[in-house]
Structure 1
Amino acid sequence: MYLSPSTGPGVATPTPPDVRESAPRKISRLGLGIILLLIVLLAYGGWTLFGAREAHADAPPMPTVNAARPIQRSLVEWDDYSGRFEPSRWVDIKPRVSGQLRAVHFRDGEIVRQGQLLFTLDDRPFVAALNEARARASAARTALALARAELARATALVDDEAISREEVDTRRAAVASAQSQVAALDAVVQQRALDVDFTRIRAPIGGRISDRRVHGGNLVAANDTLLTTIVALDPIHFVFDGSEGLYLRAQRSREAGAAPQVEIRLQDEADYRWKGRVDFNDNRIAADSGTMRSRAVVANPTHFLTPGMFGNMRLASGVRRDALLVPDAAVMTDQARKIVLVVGKGNVVEARPVTVGARVGTLRAIRSGLRPDDVVVIDGVQMAQPGAKVNVRAVRIADAAPAPAPQPDLAPPPSQATLAN
């Protein structure tokens, strides 16, 4: 009820319908609010469950790795060196007498044998000197024969006292002097004969000869003019330097009775095809470099190896030792140390520090830090984290496959080419 201004006091009029609110309308509004609240709660719960399901679906599965126990093998370890080939012998050919060079009897760069004729000098002056010496020697022999006859006559007359003993002694001294003169002239003949022989210059050793340094018609000086050089190629020497530590290890192996083996490869070869043996070590270690100069002898029957060639050499101690081998890819570097991943109890990954040895094909020798019964991760190491669990697929390590052949250092390609017919 309310009072209208147009009416007087005390007169009541009904309340308008748009002002009063019925009870059923209030109840319907309350129910609508409850329904909206339930919809919001259900929507939020659904999104929460969906997000949890997605999170569960995005969780990474436990990684699977291939693991195996290391294999045990007996190894022969090698040490690497580098060096160059040198001739086993070399000679500078120089004339022993002076004269005019008349002929050259070899082709430049060919293989010559010991005693082969190489050069010929004009021998006419030396033949004349030889004939003169022989004539003087013949005259000395005639004088000696006369002195001996006179001595014989004097000796026969001394018994009859027809000649004095002093005369006999004088004639005996004349015989001795004549004998000395003959010996001296015989030596001159021998020297002149040697001069004649020296006009024919022969190879003192067999090997590959260099080019001629003097051509026919030129004058050469005794013991001065270089005519050519010869280097011996079979066998050939390989000279190399090694550190003090490597030298000590080689010495220990020799004390143990092991025969060191030498294998060499050239710069364009992938395998070590040249075999040899160490026959010389220098008498001291160089103070400036701390290295020992050594030499190996290599057979070279085909004369393929040439002095000055560079080569890579490996030296085996000859001692066999047992070692554990794992794939080289399973060994990782962690700062300054080497590690392998080992699967322990409960399939938990553990990082194990190891000391590595030489590479054997695709495998790596482990010197310490690993036991024969350890299970090493050999495939999937990038997915295995130390301290995490993994699924293990047991496999076996194959024996060492040949390592990829190193690419040889080939000569540069030709600068030009032409079409072949």
Structure 2
Amino acid sequence: MQPVRAIGPSVVLLVLALSGCSEKPPQQAAAPAAPPVTVAQPTRRTVTDWDEFTGRFEAVEEVQVRARVGGFVTNVEFRDGAMVKTGDLLYVIDPRPFEAVATQADGQLADARAKAELAKRELDRSLTLNQSQAVSDSIVDQRRQALQAAHAAETQAEGALKAAQLNIEFTHVQAPITGRVSRHLVSVGNLVQGSDNGTSTLLTTIVSMDPIYIYFDMDEATYLKNNRLYFEGKRPSSRETPNPVQVTLTGETKPSHDGKMDFLDNRLDVSTGTLRSRAVIPNHDLSILPGQFARVRLIGSAPYEALLLPDTAVATDQSRKIVFVVKDDNSVEARPVVLGPLDDGLRVIREGLKAEDRVIVEGLQRARVGAKVSPHPAAQSSGGKTGDKT
């Protein structure tokens, strides 16, 4: 038994040695593949900066149609909300009382003319008799004064007739301008007051439609910037030149109407620090109504060469804007940039980039600063392809 006990430990050691020889050494983990990203070079083209404001449309002309003579309304000759032209009939006020007054004034004028004719004949007779001393000079003077009084009475009668005829004309209320009429505020059978008593009745309103004004308030900083560019010869003044504007209506993503500057106020509003401004917008299809809001873009610089990127390629790092640039060794670098405005869907990069830089435009979430990536060029498209463009 002793030899067996002596062999036992040796066998155990041999088995452990053999089992150790059969185990394979651990393999090292494979290095992760570089994540794929889409890169593109900045687009180079000539751009112009635009300043953007919130504006409201107002009619070029607006008229309150009021009764000029009093009386009962007999007809309403327009459809509520319709387009009317200058001279179109809107209301008819009962003209019969004014026609009677005109007939009376016509008779008074005829009487005054007859009296004037008689006074003239009497003066002519007295002048003839005065030559033979049959009539004294005082009688001639009296008849000359009578003729002058007759002519004055004739003039008064003519004025009364014209006033009566005007009142007849005013009973037919016509549109003073071309535009869109509001609803009728007075119905047939109602009594309206004329302008003689100072409280004429409002019948309806009319606003012109084409063209249309848009008013907006320019902040003081923008005004000073544009003023500086004007004195440097880089931008014409809107006071002297109808600078172009672009208008984007509510719900639109791109400007749909073009116009021109028409007016700048002569002082800044002391309560808001803004300058009242106005542009004229063509409205041939009559789709814009006074009172609508819109975004107004006003030319804010001279044309200049710029580099542009899709806005999605710009990231925010606390208070600064950065883009991720792929270097020659395919490692990622965070590049601070200074942004400009959007132009045709692309963001202007004022500082921080070169035309040959490869910028990550897709896959930003997979990029890590200092790590390598697998860059793939972006597909060429009309909105963001690289290269020069003017």
Assess same fold via TM > 0.5: yes
Tell me the CA shift for residue 291 of structure 1: 2.7
- State whether structure 2 residue 154 is matched by structure 1 residue 182: yes
Q: Which letter does structure 1 place at the counterpart of 2:342?
A: R
- State whether structure 2 residue 124 is matched by structure 1 residue 148: no
Tell me the CA shift for residue 399 of structure 1: 5.2
Alignment partner, residue 387 of structure 2: none
Structure 2 residue corresponding to 1:359, chosen from 342, 345, 355 = 342
Q: Check conservation: 2:257, 2:281, Cα contact below 8 A.
A: yes
Residues 182 and 94 of structure 1, relative CA distance in 2, 3 Å threshold: same
Q: After superposition, give the CA deviation of every residue in 1:258-286 in whole Å (9 maximum; x if it has no partner).
A: 75333334334454333322222333322
Alignment partner, residue 170 of structure 2: 198
- State whether structure 2 residue 236 is matched by structure 1 residue 254: yes
Bigger radius of gyration, 1 or 2?
Answer: 1
Tell me the CA shift for residue 62 of structure 1: 4.2
Residues 217 and 64 of structure 1, relative CA distance in 2, 3 Å threshold: closer
Q: Which letter does structure 2 place at the counterpart of 1:354?
A: V
Structure 2 length-normalised TM: 0.83
- State whether structure 2 residue 103 is matched by structure 1 residue 131: yes
Tell me the CA shift for residue 30 of structure 1: 7.6
Tell me the distance in 2 between the aligned counterparts of 1:309 and 1:398: 39
Structure 1 residue corresponding to 2:183, chosen from 200, 204, 211 = 211
Number of matched residues?
Answer: 373
- State whether structure 2 residue 291 is matched by structure 1 residue 308: yes
Alignment partner, residue 12 of structure 1: none
Alignment partner, residue 83 of structure 2: 111
- State whether structure 2 residue 74 is matched by structure 1 residue 86: no
Tell me the distance in 2 between the aligned counterparts of 1:163 and 1:61: 135
Tell me the CA shift for residue 323 of structure 1: 0.8
Residues 258 and 66 of structure 1, relative CA distance in 2, 3 Å threshold: farther
Task: Report the 3-state secondary structure (helix = DSSP H, G, I; strand = E; otherwise coil) of the residue aligned with 2:323.
Answer: strand
Tell me the distance in 1 between the aligned counterparts of 2:211 and 2:5: 121
Task: Tell me the C-alpha RMSD between the 2 structures.
Answer: 3.1
Tell me the distance in 2 between the aligned counterparts of 1:147 and 1:258: 66
Residues 108 and 345 of structure 1, relative CA distance in 2, 3 Å threshold: closer
If asked which structure has higher relative contact order (CA below 8 Å, sep 6+), I would say 2
Q: Which letter does structure 2 place at the counterpart of 1:177?
A: A
Alignment partner, residue 410 of structure 1: none
Tell me the CA shift for residue 72 of structure 1: 0.9
1:332-351 to structure 2, matched below 5 A, reads 332-344=315-327, 346-351=329-334
Task: Report the 3-state secondary structure (helix = DSSP H, G, I; strand = E; otherwise coil) of the residue aligned with 2:29.
Answer: helix
Q: Check conservation: 1:64, 1:390, Cα contact below 8 A.
A: no
Task: Report the 3-state secondary structure (helix = DSSP H, G, I; strand = E; otherwise coil) of the residue aligned with 2:291.
Answer: coil
Task: Report the 3-state secondary structure (helix = DSSP H, G, I; strand = E; otherwise coil) of the residue aligned with 1:83.
Answer: strand
Residues 348 and 259 of structure 1, relative CA distance in 2, 3 Å threshold: farther
Tell me the distance in 1 between the aligned counterparts of 2:365 and 2:191: 79
Structure 1 residue corresponding to 2:249, chosen from 266, 272, 293 = 266
* Runs of 4+ more than 6 Å apart: none
Q: Which letter does structure 1 place at the counterpart of 2:71?
A: G
Tell me the distance in 2 between the aligned counterparts of 1:352 and 1:258: 40
Structure 2 residue corresponding to 1:161, chosen from 133, 136, 139 = 133
Alignment partner, residue 388 of structure 2: none
Q: Check conservation: 2:44, 2:306, Cα contact below 8 A.
A: yes
Calculate percent identity across the aligned residue pairs: 37
Which runs of 5 or more residues in structure 1 are unaligned?
Answer: 1-17, 403-421
Residues 35 and 360 of structure 1, relative CA distance in 2, 3 Å threshold: farther
Q: Check conservation: 1:88, 1:236, Cα contact below 8 A.
A: yes
Alignment partner, residue 366 of structure 2: 383
Q: After superposition, give the CA deviation of every residue in 1:291-347 in whole Å (9 maximum; x if it has no partner).
A: 333333222233332223333333344842211122322211101110112234644
Tell me the distance in 2 between the aligned counterparts of 1:155 and 1:34: 172
Task: Report the 3-state secondary structure (helix = DSSP H, G, I; strand = E; otherwise coil) of the residue aligned with 1:216.
Answer: coil
Structure 2 residue corresponding to 1:279, chosen from 233, 238, 262 = 262
- State whether structure 2 residue 201 is matched by structure 1 residue 225: yes
Structure 2 residue corresponding to 1:235, chosen from 201, 211, 218 = 211
Tell me the distance in 1 between the aligned counterparts of 2:294 and 2:37: 42
Q: Which letter does structure 2 place at the counterpart of 1:352?
A: R
Structure 1 length-normalised TM: 0.77
Q: Which letter does structure 2 place at the counterpart of 1:211?
A: R
Which runs of 5 or more residues in structure 2 are unaligned?
Answer: 385-390
Tell me the distance in 1 between the aligned counterparts of 2:16 and 2:207: 107
Tell me the CA shift for residue 91 of structure 1: 1.4
Residues 188 and 81 of structure 1, relative CA distance in 2, 3 Å threshold: same
- State whether structure 2 residue 265 is matched by structure 1 residue 289: no
Tell me the distance in 2 between the aligned counterparts of 1:398 and 1:91: 55
Q: Check conservation: 1:69, 1:397, Cα contact below 8 A.
A: no
Tell me the distance in 2 between the aligned counterparts of 1:130 and 1:58: 111
Structure 1 residue corresponding to 2:304, chosen from 321, 327, 341 = 321
Tell me the distance in 1 between the aligned counterparts of 2:267 and 2:337: 36
- State whether structure 2 residue 221 is matched by structure 1 residue 245: yes
1:36-51 to structure 2, matched below 5 A, reads 38=17, 49-50=25-26
Tell me the CA shift for residue 383 of structure 1: 3.1
The farther-off stretch of 29-38 and 277-286 is 29-38
Tell me the distance in 2 between the aligned counterparts of 1:136 and 1:88: 45
